[in-house]
Structure formats: structure tokens, C-alpha cells
Structure 1
Amino acid sequence: MTTIKGPAIFLAQFAGDNAPYNTLEGICKWAASLGYKGIQIPTWDARLIDLQRAAEDKDYALQLQSTVQSYGLEITELSTHLQGQLIAVHPSFDPLFDAFAPQELHNNPKERQQWAVQQLHYAIKASHNLGLKALATFSGAFLWPYVYPWPQRPANLIETGFTELAKMWLPILDICEQYDVDLCYELHPGEDLHDGVTFDLFLEKVNYHKRANILYDPSHFVLQCLDYLQFIDIYHERIKMFHVKDAEFNPSGRQGVYGGYQDWQARAGRFRSIGDGQVNFKAIFTKLTQYDFQGWAVLEWECAFKNSEDGAREGAQHIKEYIIRVGDRAFDNFAAAGSDNNLNRKLIGLSDE
């Protein structure tokens, strides 16, 4: 077994236009002051990384890594959530998702998708240059408008959607194999890959590609009423990344999973700052340790109520407490009888005579 690395923090929810959150140096100093050991970098934020340069210039990648390390931190992974979202977009979402791409690509879904693919290529190569083994992303979605079948879905609609999604991602997964990087899909409502069943459908379509893996985030499973602990038992071999994010689900006689179009504070299911929700992190850390998870425990902070700085400060301490430092000997070694093959044979009723 391996001790999970951490605590680390995903910077997407904290980067901003004001110091110390507007430069890599400033945000590293801030994260280190809270006790974090790693940072996960959103690749769409030019204040923190020049993605194309990190892919094409190894010296720049080394400089980036050196800057982070100078604050006692490590880069845990890169994130391409926004670019991954643009790999597959249903037309009804085009106007909203234009915001994830440069202005010159707005109202041009084809060129926007090509840009997103190139961004994934850069992120894979940048990960390789930085010595990182995993890359976070979203799958995008052709099928989300049809998630609840009314009217009845046409025959083979889901089959067609996953076939086309796989066509988009297979060349990218092959590049991941070339650069020894695992692509980790965050299973998330709004994406075609949002639970175990949809991940299985996708895996089949990409021929069980070894680089198609999972970013495990229990908060999204709480909001779907999915057994997030059993999920680890089933998919632990594919779980290569871990977001530590809390959530709660409090259904009533008036509202359930779909949330009644309410804002986050009024929903039955909502994200909470770590420690304030219903996720059993002690059990999660135990299972991931049991299955020898090799990665980082990365705080992703989202909360409908709490201040982000308080959430970040508390999150570092919570993760420290949840991480299980694995032992180098069994707890009952004091009662060990030693190793003797003759004795072992006698104990099972065999004799050398």
C-alpha cells in the first residue's frame, strides 16, 4: 500500500485578478502558507501557465516546475476541464460554451472543436514535459439533453452518441499512450460520462483503452444518489486522480435530484466546503489506500455558503487528517509464530513421515 499524497489544491476556483491570486508566484506562496504540498493547475488560465509554451519548450516547463518547487510545492496534475468540454457539444449549448474558447472562435463550433483538440494535445505534451502521469478533463456531451427519456428516445440514439464521442477521443487517447499520460475524465452531470454505466459504455467504444481513466469526485455521486464507496470497489483500477469535494443531498416533499431550477443555495443537492457536507471521507481514504491509489488528494473547493479562503484553509487541515500514513509492519506482528514449513505442514494435518 501507498500513502496518498497531499494535501493539494485545484487552483481554478481561486485564481483571480487580485493579488495573491493573479500570478503563479503569488498563489503558490498563498497555498504553501496554508499547508498545501501540491497544486493542480487549470491550463486555460494564462496567469498561471502558458500551455502551448509548456508543450513546446522543455526549458519553460522546467522553469515552471522550478518556480512551484521553490515554494515547497509540486504540480500534481494539469486540468483541461473547459477544453475537454468543447470536444463534444450539443448545438443547444453552443452559445453558452463559446465562453470557454477564444473570442475569434465564437459562433464557429467546428473551429472551436479543433481548437479544443489542439489544446488537449498541448496539455498531454506539457504534462509529459513536467513529468506528470495524469491529466484531468471532461468528456463533453452529445446526449445530455436526452438524459431523461421523454419523449421516448429514438432507437440507437445512445449507441450513436457514444460511437461519435469515442471517435472524438480515441486519437487523443492514443497520444496519451505515446506520452505516457493517463487521461482522467471527471464523471460529472452535464457530461456524457457522468456515472459508472456511462463510463462503461464509453470504455467499450474506445476498446478499453488503457489511458481512459477516472478523476474520482464523490460530490457528484452524492448529488446523483450513487453509492460512491462501492464505486471505488468497482472502478479502483481506473481511478488515477482524486478531487476532495464535499456535498449534501436533502430531498423534501417539494424537491429532489433535479433541484426545481433553483440556485445552489436552495437546491436539495448542493456542494459544500469540505467537512460541512455528507461525504464520508474517512471511508473514501481508507478504500483508496486499500487499493493502493498512487495519486494526490486534491481539494476542489465549491460551496454555496462558505467563504473560499476559509474553505481552503480548513480543507488543508481536513485532508491532512484524512490521509492514512501506511504502516511498515502488521499490527499483530508481536504475536507472530515465525515461518517454518514443517510446522505449517503439521498444522494442516500433514506429516513428513
Structure 2
Amino acid sequence: MLPELADLLGTARVVRLPMRSRFRGITAREAVLFEGTEGWTEFSPFVEYDDQEAAAWLHAAIDFGWRSAPATLRDTIPVNATVPAVAAEDVAAVLDRYPGARTAKVKVAEPGQTLADDVARVRAVREHLGPEGRIRVDANTLWNVDEAEHAIHALAPFDLEYVEQPCATVEELAEIRRRTRYMDIPIAADESVRKASDPLAVARAGAADLLVIKAQPLGGIHSALRIVAEAGLPVVVSSAIDTSVGIAMGAHLAAAVPELEFDCGLGTVAMFEHDVAVEPLIPVDGAIPVVRPQVSTAQLDRLSAAEDRTEWWLDRVRRCYRIVEHAAAL
């Protein structure tokens, strides 16, 4: 059952969270928070996404705010540190924001940077984590197959756990996986799952060794769990640079996944200067708890988006709600 649009808009708060370092080309993250019958929930598709794609994120917000979460199999979720495309000398300061984390995801293929920059950054991460640490790199689709093969070869000496979305298409992922099989470095799919009309296409094509899943773009926890069951591949639960409310949604998803082999990308609240929760879901001893955080009214007021941005987001909620409502009626 969908809540009424008026119920969404009646509790909606639009916030803007400044980030400590530029990530994905942004320096602040905007989100809409709603207070549902089950607690606070979040709607935060990236601004460049069209309404059809963003509607899945609204469905996820409704799912978490107005529907009971599945039974949990664990109380805490181990998380990775996230290292933006910073200079090598800044890596240690970034990793220090993730106390106890044994795994780091490192951004590579940043526009305007070189492979040498990536190598230097990953080397600095390895030096900081030591030989026991786990390093995964994320290219966010920005290499072609030849560039990916060259880059993976250059980064292989740092003992990579996996390479996330090195190329854009399912066909390219299958090809780079074939070309680099001799290096025994797994290929993970992210955008090819969460931005696809058919999230299972990656698994059927044999294009990845594991899937990176995110609750919001997959339509919510229940929808994501169905995809996990059908795909039959190991998964990493990650975030889309969410507030603590969105991170809680991801944590509840990770807590319900039957097998959780990898540390999850749910420590990203550490990337913000401020958060909306009374107790932000920042990693402690390399993990976050599976809870619904209490939202601070004072922080909502402090972090409120400008009036024009608030109206932009509320209009977006109205448009996406019509899409969700139409799909529910089918």
C-alpha cells in the first residue's frame, strides 16, 4: 500500500550535506527525508537522473519508511573505507576517518588525472593498511577495455580484492573479465546492476564475479533481496553517498543478505562534515550497527537546503510519486 502523497510531503525535509572531499564531482549531497510509520527514510537520487530512474529511489524510500524491514541475520555490518581521488599524501588523513576498517575502496580513473596518480594513491593505501589490508578500486565505468586491462595490470602488484565497474557495458565487463582472468582479480559490477533495466543481465552474461548492490536504486530492500537471490553471485552492499538514514536502509539490506562475504560500502557518512542523525552511523572498530538512527531536528534545521533547491526536490518527489503510483496500479 502506498502512502498518500500528502503524507510524504507533510514530513519532507530537504537537506544539503557538505562533503570533506570532492567525490563523483560533487562537494555537497542533497537528500529528501520523510518520516514514515516505520521511521525516517531517504530519497536521494543523483540530480542528473531522470524521473523514471529516480522513481525506483522513491519506491525504496517508501519501502523503508512504510514497510517492515526483513528479519536481520546480523547486528553489525563490517564496512570499508572510501578513498576519493585525493593526492597520495592525503590518503592517510582519509583512512583515519574509518577507525578499524580493514578494507579500502579507492577511486580511480578520475577525469583530469592519470594512471600514475591512481598507482600512487593505491600504493599509499597499501602502505597505510599494510599487507593484511584489503584494497578494491572503483573506476565508475570510465575506462574502455584496453585502458582497463592496462590499468589493472599496473595496479595488480598491490594485491587487489576486486576491480569495480572498470567499463560501462555488460559486454565490456565480460571482455575485460576474460582478458584479465590470468591475474585472478575479480570483476565487480555496480552501475551495470543499479542503472540497468535488467539488473540480472550481468549475472546471465557471466560479466562479473560479484555484484555491488544499493538499496535505493534497486527499489528498496525487498526488491534488492529478490535480485540477490536470483543472481546467485556474491554481493557487496554499498551506499550512494547517503545520510545516516539512507545508510540505515543499506545496513538493513546487508543484515538480511544470507551470505555476506565482503565488507560493505556503508561507511560513507564519514565523508560528510555534518549529518542529520543524533548519532551518525560513522564506523567504529570497522563496523556500523543495524539500527534506525534518531534524526536531529536541530541538524535538519541547520542543514536545510535553500528554498529554490527545496522546491526543486519536492517537485521531483511529486513527479516520481506519479510514476510509482502508476506502476503500483498495474
Q: Please, what TM-score do these two structures have when normalized by structure 2?
A: 0.50
Is this contact kept in 2: 1:221–1:227, CA < 8 A?
yes
Is this contact kept in 2: 1:40–1:78, CA < 8 A?
yes
Q: Within 2, Cα distance between the matches of 1:278 and 1:39?
A: 18
1:29 Cα offset (Å): 2.3
Is this contact kept in 2: 1:215–1:241, CA < 8 A?
yes
Gap regions ≥5 residues in structure 1: 16-21, 55-59, 85-115, 142-164, 246-270, 325-353
Q: Within 2, Cα distance between the matches of 1:137 and 1:77?
A: 11
Question: 3-state DSSP class of the match of 1:229?
Answer: helix
Q: Within 1, Cα distance between the matches of 2:87 and 2:201?
A: 40
Q: Within 2, Cα distance between the matches of 1:11 and 1:220?
A: 22
Q: Within 1, Cα distance between the matches of 2:140 and 2:237?
A: 14
Q: Does 1:194 align with 2:182?
A: no
Write out aligned runs for 1:1-353 (5 A): 6-12=78-84, 15=85, 22-35=86-99, 37=101, 38-45=103-110, 50-51=115-116, 54=119, 63-69=123-129, 74-84=133-143, 116-137=144-165, 140=168, 166=171, 168-187=172-191, 194-195=195-196, 198-204=198-204, 206=205, 208=206, 211-222=208-219, 227-235=223-231, 237-245=232-240, 272-273=242-243, 275-277=244-246, 280-288=249-257, 290-291=258-259, 293-299=260-266, 301=268, 308-311=272-275, 314-317=280-283, 320-322=287-289
Instruction: Go from structure 1 to structure 2 and tell me whether the alpha carbon gap of 1:242 and 1:125 turns closer, same or farther (over 3 Å shift).
Output: farther
Measured against aligned partners, the alpha-carbon deviations of 1:324-343 in whole angstroms (never above 9, x if no partner) come to 9xxxxxxxxxxxxxxxxxxx
Q: Within 2, Cα distance between the matches of 1:179 and 1:307?
A: 32
Q: Which protein has greater RCO, CA pairs closer than 8 Å, 6+ apart?
A: 2
Instruction: Go from structure 1 to structure 2 and tell me whether the alpha carbon gap of 1:80 and 1:121 turns closer, same or farther (over 3 Å shift).
Output: same
- Size of the alignment, in residue pairs? 215
CA root-mean-square deviation: 4.5
Q: Within 2, Cα distance between the matches of 1:294 and 1:79?
A: 18
Question: 3-state DSSP class of the match of 1:244?
Answer: coil
Instruction: Go from structure 1 to structure 2 and tell me whether the alpha carbon gap of 1:62 and 1:281 turns closer, same or farther (over 3 Å shift).
Output: closer
The structure having more radius of gyration, on CA atoms, is: 1
1:81 Cα offset (Å): 0.6
Q: Within 1, Cα distance between the matches of 2:93 and 2:247?
A: 31
Code of the residue aligned with 1:243 in structure 2: it is S
Q: Within 1, Cα distance between the matches of 2:275 and 2:105?
A: 16
Q: Within 1, Cα distance between the matches of 2:150 and 2:105?
A: 16
Identity of counterpart residues, as a percentage?
6
Q: Please, what TM-score do these two structures have when normalized by structure 1?
A: 0.47
Instruction: Go from structure 1 to structure 2 and tell me whether the alpha carbon gap of 1:31 and 1:4 turns closer, same or farther (over 3 Å shift).
Output: same
Instruction: Go from structure 1 to structure 2 and tell me whether the alpha carbon gap of 1:307 and 1:127 turns closer, same or farther (over 3 Å shift).
Output: closer
